[in-house]
Structure 1
Amino acid sequence: MLKVENLKVRYGMIEAIKGISFEVRDGEIVTLIGANGAGKTTTMHAISGLLKPASGSITMDGQDLVKMPSHKIVSLGLAQVPEGRRVFAQQTVEENLILGAYTRRDKAGIAKDQERVFDLFPRLKERRTQLAGTLSGGEQQMLAMGRALMAKPKLVLMDEPSMGLSPLLVKEIFHIIEDINKQGTTVLLVEQNARMALAIADRAYVLETGKITLEGTGEELAKDERVRKAYLGG
């Protein structure tokens, strides 16, 4: 589905991503784990068209994403849940969801997907007329995820969905990610909570200072001594 080959991304003279290659197959949950500054978010932004790579290729279902504008990439079936949620604070929950479907014209399908989002996130349904900026952190994360799903993506990129949430809410968010995947959406997950990410991932990659240093199944990396020491507290 998604193939990244020899990707390099620069900020001025600094090479943030140093020639990484990985893939996400249809129906998988794939996670990128790594410390702050490893290049995880930069990689996500390059895939979704928010940053232009210095070199390398990014393809989805055989289509080149590198020269494609972001809104066209969304229309292909790729959506992103950004780090820090970035909901539209002065819009209601419902308005945020409708904005997520801005590339679509199928009114019946949009209404159906909104109900699907409300089934996944009952709290959003209760707060559908509430301003997004007045929601709790966990509710804003749910809204950011729901807004991405309104684009009807085949592949959703999730950037640090558990950031700043209580342990109880973290578990809930990860259960929902699994549900989204079981309903047919492929997931590429960037996450600092390596333990939770590896527990739900089919496959995983470790990113360190712009390079992929390890890869394997989620289970394999969770048992790897190097990963345990660096990311799982020994």
Structure 2
Amino acid sequence: MLEMIDVNVYYGAIHALKGISIKVNEGEIVTLIGANGAGKTTSLKTISGVLKPKTGVVKFQGNEINKVNASNIVSLGISHVPEGRRVFSSMSVMENLEMGAYSRKDKAEIKKDYEMVFETFPRLLERKNQMAGTLSGGEQQMLAIGRALMSRPKLLLLDEPSMGLAPLVVKQIFSIIKDINEKGTTVLLVEQNAAMALNIANRAYVIQNGRVEMEGPANELLNDEKVRSAYLGG
């Protein structure tokens, strides 16, 4: 479904991605793990068109998308839940979900997707008229994911969904991610909580200093001594 092929990305003079190559097959959960500043978030921003590679190719369903505008990439079927959630704090929960469906015209199907989001996140239904900025961190994360689902993505990019959340809420969010995947949405996940990510993923890439250092089935990396020592506390 998705390929990054020898992608190089710069922030000014800083070489952030140094020949990254990854792939995501339809139906998978793939996770990128690594230390802060390794290039994980930059990879997601490059896929969603927020950043443009200097060299290399990003392909989605066989078509090059590295020169496509970010707004048009959403219409192709890629939704990005950014680090820090980034909900529209002065808008209601319902208005945030409406923003997720901005590129769609199929009103009857949009209505079905509101129902799907509220079924997935019952808390959002209870708070649908509440300002997003007054929600708890966990509720805002649910809203950010729900907003992304309103575009009906084929591929969902998730950047640090557990950040700043209580352990019980993290467990709930990861259960929902797995459920979303089982219902047919492919997921590319960036996550500091490497153990949680590797437990739900099919495959994983370890990113260090802008390069892929290791890759393989998630359960194998979960039991790899180097990975355990570096990212799983031994």
Which TM class, normalised by the smaller chain length? Answer: over 0.9
Q: What amino acid sits opposite 2:31 in the alignment?
A: T
What's the % identity of the aligned pairs? 63
TM-score, structure 1 normalization: 0.99
Please name the residue that 2:205 is paired with. Answer: 205
Distance in 1 separating the partners of 2:191 and 2:220: 17
Please name the residue that 1:111 is paired with. Answer: 111
Return the offset for 1:4.
0.6
Distance in 2 separating the partners of 1:173 and 1:154: 19
Matches within 5 A, 1:14-33: 14-33=14-33
CA deviation string 1:40-59 (max 9, x = no partner): 10110000000011110000
CA deviation string 1:96-155 (max 9, x = no partner): 001000000000111100110001000000000000000000000000000000000000
Distance in 1 separating the partners of 2:98 and 2:49: 22
Matches within 5 A, 1:53-64: 53-64=53-64
Return the offset for 1:64.
1.0
Structure 1: runs of 5 or more not aligned: none
The yes-or-no answer on 1:145 pairing with 2:124 is no
Return the offset for 1:225.
0.3
Q: What amino acid sits opposite 2:42 in the alignment?
A: T
Please name the residue that 2:173 is paired with. Answer: 173
DSSP 3-state at the match of 1:23: strand
DSSP 3-state at the match of 1:161: coil
Please name the residue that 1:52 is paired with. Answer: 52
Please name the residue that 1:196 is paired with. Answer: 196
RMSD: 0.4
Return the offset for 1:191.
0.3
Return the offset for 1:12.
1.2
Distance in 1 separating the partners of 2:12 and 2:173: 36
Return the offset for 1:63.
1.3
Q: What amino acid sits opposite 1:185 in the alignment?
A: T
Return the offset for 1:170.
0.5
For this pair of structures, how many residues does the alignment match?
234
